[in-house]
């Protein structure tokens, strides 16, 4: 992570360095042999194949949703309600959490931002603040069943049932709700650092 924060490496390059580092560390500890290396490769392959299948299914669902225009119509409906800034924020949080039940994070943002952004600007929200708010809410949406992408990743890693994973991720969901509330009460949390750059 230090190489990413320092601007030395991209996330992919840092991941490759992490793999090499873990190989060196396991070799130094004497736990690296052909069997453990092969088991690690197979585990990583299974995990990434599962993620690939989830992404392809999400892409198909996104295509269908985009074709019928559901996210755009819902975004237009939220924009037409004429809400106060606080209730607009609440409505957008609920809107994105519900969308997260069916779409992946990037698709939610891409399919709705053209309609939502003018409404947000008209309500007087700082765009940097709104970007931070959106990232937190989209991450909340990623742990909402039935299609919460992160739930499936955790299921593949742990082998547990999706209902159990959804239950144990609920405290994190509530913490992110508290983070959104803090962001509303103290908007300087999101705007202080960019304002000093």
Residue pLDDT, tens place only, 139-173: 999 888 777 778 887 887 788 888 898 889 899 99
> Domain coordinates of the chain in residue numbers?
53-195
Residue pLDDT, tens place only, 126-140: 999 999 999 999 999
Q: On the CB side of 136, how many CA atoms lie within 13 Å of its CA?
A: 23
């Amino acid at each position: 992570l230090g190489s990413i924060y320092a601007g030395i490496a991209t996330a992919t390059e840092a991941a490759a360095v992490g793999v090499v580092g873990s190989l060196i560390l396991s070799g130094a500890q004497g736990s690296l042999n052909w069997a453990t290396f092969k088991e690690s490769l197979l585990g990583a392959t299974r995990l990434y194949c599962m993620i690939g299948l989830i992404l392809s299914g999400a892409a198909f669902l996104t295509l269908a949703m985009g074709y019928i225009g559901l996210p755009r119509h819902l975004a237009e409906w939220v924009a037409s309600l004429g809400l106060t800034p606080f209730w607009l924020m609440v409505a957008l949080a609920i809107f994105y959490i519900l969308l997260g039940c069916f779409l992946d994070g990037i698709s939610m943002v891409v399919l709705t931002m053209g309609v939502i952004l003018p409404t947000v600007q008209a309500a007087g929200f700082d765009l940097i603040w709104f970007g931070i708010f959106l990232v937190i809410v989209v991450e909340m949406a990623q742990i909402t069943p039935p299609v919460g992408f992160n739930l499936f990743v955790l299921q593949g890693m742990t082998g547990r049932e999706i209902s159990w994973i959804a239950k144990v991720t609920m405290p994190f969901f509530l913490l992110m709700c508290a983070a959104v509330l803090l962001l509303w009460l103290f908007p300087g949390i999101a705007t202080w650092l960019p304002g000093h750059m």
